[in-house]
Structure 1
Amino acid sequence: MKDYIRSVLDVVAESPFVPLEMHARKGVLAVEKLAEAMEAYCNGDQALLDERTEEIDVLEHEADKIKQKIRASIPSSVRLPVNKKDLLSFLKQQDSIADFAQASAYWMTLRPCKDLPDEIKEGFLELMANSLKTARVYDQLVGELYKLLATSFSKEEIKETMQIVPEVEKLEHDVDVLETALLKKIFEHEGEIGGAGVCHLMGLVERIGGIADKSASAADRLRSMILRR
């Protein structure tokens, strides 16, 4: 049995699955930095916002390099336990998590947070916290993928792992609800914020919410990849 497990892990070491987990971690780290950037944005700390934006940019670039490595390794990978097209589709969605974190940070730097009502600031912080929570649970799901490989996708392990997917989807739905509530608050304060300010904040809501959306999409693609193997 030990020899069998060692054989499976040898295949994993030659496959894209180890860098896939590393790639997911880069995305979550970028979202964690974005949460700090959001706090800086709401506090009017432009210097810290710029610093976190640069750090997110580095993490997104590192994720891109891992993505390129994975794509290059797939043609030569042997005995992959999943469909290669499914794997690439899954990778694309996962890569979008870091992309949306980067886009959100850049968007914040375009227009300073001046005189925003406290309830809108609080709404953004809550939206950010829930998007980060979604990304973290998704990261947990990807971590379970390696365990599946180590057990050769046993039915029991698959069942346990698949239970995390609905949790990610539920969190994404919660983020959707928060997005709608925050947009409503933004429009209620249109007179204070101004048309340009409303457009900017709408774009920021969309980008931050996109992190949860892409986390749920990647979770769904991972589920399909495993079930259709």
Structure 2
Amino acid sequence: MKDYIRSVLDVVAESPFVPLEMHARKGVLAVEKLAEAMEAYCNGNQALLDERTEEIDILEHEADKIKQKIRASIPSSVRLPVNKKDLLSFLKQQDSIADFAQASAYWMTLRPCKNLPDEIKEGFLELMATSLKTARVYDKLVGELYKLLATSFSKEEIKETLQIVPEVEKLEHDVDVLETALLKKIFEHEDEIGGAGVCHLMGLVERIGGIADKSASAADRLRSMILRR
């Protein structure tokens, strides 16, 4: 047990691990801003949508800078008791959360939300809310896990914390269900929305749903990285 605790402290002490939680937080903040952008989009508030899009862009850029710092620190690490490929694979998935938030915001700015049926707007708001919840639960997982590592909790307690992963995966499944239902509604109103409108909304559904997908993927890679170390 002492050897395990010592190795855990070594993990936290190594430079790539300290900024990982900061990086995760940037992604969740971007998704929170995206939820506000979605409200603005559905309400036809272009000025607020543009403002939130700019803020998301800044957060994504900040996340990218942290990502580069983590990558640059890996070759110089004195000791890194996890597989480097596992770490980079995990980081790529986590970084995609902010990427999808940025892509979703940009996509909304391409075409105004005009004359959309209320049920489609409600569908987007529900999809966005559940995607945000998924990202927040993922952020909770990262925060709790690093807190445990930093305070030398036992291997069993770390595994218990990893039980949050199925919560993220369950929410990602819920998002998939919402995506399907929303796409069905969009096609039902194809005559009103038009072909270009349908294509635009399909792309938006895909990008917002991608946030939950990447949150679940990052949670899974994080679990694997910790348990395989």
TM-score range, shorter chain: over 0.9
Deviation (angstroms), 1:161: 1.6
Distance 1:200 1:173 in 2: 23
Deviation (angstroms), 1:153: 6.5
Distance 1:11 1:173 in 2: 32
**1:75-108, Cα deviation, whole Å (9 max, x unpaired):** 1122223111100100000000000000000000
Name the SS of the counterpart of 2:67 in structure 1. helix
RMSD, aligned CA? 2.2
Deviation (angstroms), 1:2: 12
Query: Which residue of 2 is the match for residue 148 of structure 1?
Result: 148
Deviation (angstroms), 1:118: 0.2
Distance 1:208 1:4 in 2: 39
Query: Which residue of 2 is the match for residue 105 of structure 1?
Result: 105
Asked if the contact 1:86/1:221 (under 8 Å) is kept, the reply is: yes
Deviation (angstroms), 1:5: 7.5
Query: Which residue of 2 is the match for residue 78 of structure 1?
Result: 78
Q: State the TM-score, normalizing by the size of structure 2.
A: 0.94
Asked if the contact 1:26/1:98 (under 8 Å) is kept, the reply is: yes
Deviation (angstroms), 1:37: 0.1
**1:13-46, Cα deviation, whole Å (9 max, x unpaired):** 4421110000000000000000000000000000
Distance 2:112 2:144 in 1: 40
Name the SS of the counterpart of 2:74 in structure 1. helix
Q: State the TM-score, normalizing by the size of structure 1.
A: 0.94
When the two structures are aligned, how many residues end up with a matched partner? 229
Asked if the contact 2:141/2:165 (under 8 Å) is kept, the reply is: yes
Distance 1:201 1:143 in 2: 34
Deviation (angstroms), 1:50: 0.2
- Could you say if the C-alpha distance between residues 6 and 162 of structure 1 is closer, same or farther in structure 2, counting changes exceeding 3 Å? closer
Asked if the contact 2:14/2:79 (under 8 Å) is kept, the reply is: no
> Sequence identity of aligned pairs in percent?
97
Distance 1:207 1:116 in 2: 19
Distance 1:124 1:62 in 2: 27
**1:37-81, Cα deviation, whole Å (9 max, x unpaired):** 000000000000000000000000000000000000011122223
- Could you say if the C-alpha distance between residues 193 and 150 of structure 1 is closer, same or farther in structure 2, counting changes exceeding 3 Å? same
Structure 1: 5+ residue stretches without partners: none
- Of residues 72-81 and 178-187 in structure 1, the stretch that sits farther from structure 2 once superposed is 72-81
